[in-house]
Structure 1
């Protein structure tokens, strides 16, 4: 399934982390290095080159052009991003709000629904089975 189809089916793209990792592994070319089974500690961005250096808990590091953080609820990617932003801001109140963003907060969203006109779906994703057969889509999570 293409990212366009995923976007159409949900409007705002919301994926389980496992599904996102599987999507990346299936669709990125072999020339892209995807680190799995690694725990990110932090990252640095070189201002001159834009290159991102990843620092892992096992002491190893890697340099990349793009960082997609799929590291879960206690995300070092999110934590590092908000800390970097906070340190770049002079206003104390804004800085504190950014530090507060480091810890995840449950949004209260359990179900997300969206209606997409069949004609639009058919145009963007002609092979999607939702248009040709009776389909029940259900996602169950552990609570």
Structure 2
């Protein structure tokens, strides 16, 4: 998914849906008492990210967060539950750092879109491994 997002600036729905379903199955298998909390985290995260994306679009008429990122964020929340806040902070901080470094090296234009999916993937993996250990 990371490579696809880097090349096409979009996250495929089927891959995001599979990620969500695997998150539900994993949570049910290993931590069944947390299943409801993780499912609610996914719904709430998706709603909040969609709201942020919509509000930003209405204010600036530019897309800051695509619907693929919104769906991926919701799927990620199913994996890590309330720790999704840490995933989003890590992903956003990493993306900002990379954008600033690339801009300072004259290798990027901040007006061009930056694929956020790879940052979400790495942050999700890091947080999930930390909490699952």
State if a TM-score over 0.5 links the two structures: no
Of Structure 1 and Structure 2, the greater helix share is in 2
Bigger relative CO (Cα 8 Å, ≥ 6 apart): 2
Of Structure 1 and Structure 2, the greater strand share is in 1
